[in-house]
Amino acid sequence: MSPKTTWLLVAGLAVTLGTLPTVTGHAAIKTNFTKIHYSEDAFSHNQFTNIAYHAKSTKKNAYIWNDTHTKKLYNLKTYPTYTWFKLASGTYKGNSHWIEVTNFVDSKRGWIYSPQLVKGFSTKGYQPTKRSYKQPTYAGGIYHVKSTKKNAYLWNWTHAKKLANLKNYTNQNYSRRHSVLITHQGTSHWYSYVSVTIKKKTINGYVRSSALAAGKTTNHQGQNILQPDDFVATKDYLQYLNDSKYQKLARSLIKLFPNTPVDLGLSQIAAYNFATNDTWEEDPPEEIGYDRLQGHRAVHQGRNLLNGQQDQDQRPEARGRREAVGPGRLHQGQARQADQLQAGHLHPEQRQGR
């Protein structure tokens, strides 16, 4: 395996799993602590119970120091609701009661005198007590917000700040990167870590897992260009074609074929098997229930046949006959529309936005 391939695999794994705890290389650290015994494997493997600590007092100063014990990094009383997780134990100037700790998202770590801590999760605020990447129970899959009426807040990891209300974004699909069990006043609930796009910005946070339902959304209001695999059934596909401001050409073309119903399954087959641009991300759609499918070549042949008829009709002796054949002109217009869309009227949205 080439170095480039290896790098791509590692990068892809990182994207798939989402935010993982950072494990600092031990050998690269310059430290004045000695006799260090590392236990951070428990943290990186989400085994929190035996390494959880919280401040003995939220009113007294209790500092977390850097690796050389030359700089105070954080004061525990500034973070009264935090649970801290033990990464290592060590000795400083002959005193062995020092431990290295970090917060849940591993954004604040350093050394602290352990008598200033009490073992166990903090009883204040909302405490993430478990984290799981196990698929499909706690990670992976496509989800949508259940209700447009019930609040579904997206929180930061401390559950102290509302980032968004997902009931306002039921037109988006959500993929769970992982889940955490958050405990508050003796009650625990699972939260899913997801992303929402608001005004072209991506916001990450935790939403109550019970607010989500498995499967893709059928609400596509406000969405512009969608792929055929973004729909659940013909019903929501047709609603998108009828309502979207980006589908004017699609609606015009559908009117040319009033007796031909729009069909999502057939549109998916057309997009995957016959489209000229490779935009399909899922497995090939099944062709069960369909037969006599024709590709682009057959559409172009039909167009050329009509154009040949038109060329012959340009002769003076055929003008009268041409004027009498009204439906022929309509068929030529249909062929030109089909030629513009390449895949027929089955999936016109792929040609939007040019």
CA distances from residue 149 to 93, 145, 236 in whole angstroms, order as listed: 60, 10, 20
Decide if pLDDT at 16 tops 50. Answer: no
Say if residues 178 and 18 touch (Cβ distance below 8 Å): yes
> What is the spatial distance between Cα 114 and Cα 264, in angstroms, rounded to a whole number?
62
Q: If pLDDT is split at 50, 70 and 90, which confidence band does 7 have? A: very low
- How much is the mean pLDDT over the chain? 80
- How many whole angstroms separate alpha carbon 85 and alpha carbon 147? 37
Report which secondary-structure segment, H or E, holds 321.
Answer: helix 319-324
Percent of the chain residues topping a pLDDT of 70: 70
Say how far residue 186 (Cα) sits from the centre of its chain: 31
Mean pLDDT of 82-109: 97
* Percent with pLDDT over 90 in the chain: 61
First to last CA, the chain: 40
pLDDT for the residue 283: 67
Output the pLDDT for position 95: 96
Per-residue pLDDT at 272: 78
Please check the confidence at residue 109 and state whether its pLDDT lies above 90: yes
In DSSP terms, 93 is beta-bridged to none
77, 35 in Cβ contact below 8 A?
no
Instruction: Tabulate helix, strand, coil % of the chain (nearest 5).
Output: 35, 25, 40
pLDDT at residue 271 in the model: 79
Residue 270: its pLDDT value, please? 80
Residue 64 reports pLDDT greater than 60 = yes
User: Which of 61-70, 179-188, 216-225, 342-351 has the least mean pLDDT?
Assistant: 342-351
Cα angle: 164, vertex 165, 167; to 5 degrees: 145
User: What does each C-alpha distance from 325 to 318, 329, 330 come to in angstroms?
Assistant: 11, 7, 9
What is the model's pLDDT at position 291?
73
What distance lies between CA 113 and its chain's CA centroid?
Answer: 41
In the structure encoding, which two tokens stand for residue 247, read together?
Answer: 């589908």
Confidence band for 120, pLDDT divided at 50, 70 and 90? very high
Spatial distance between the Cα atoms of 109 and 136, rounded to a whole number of angstroms: 31
pLDDT digits (tens, 9 = 90+) for 256-310: 999 989 999 988 888 777 665 555 556 667 776 777 666 655 555 554 544 555 4
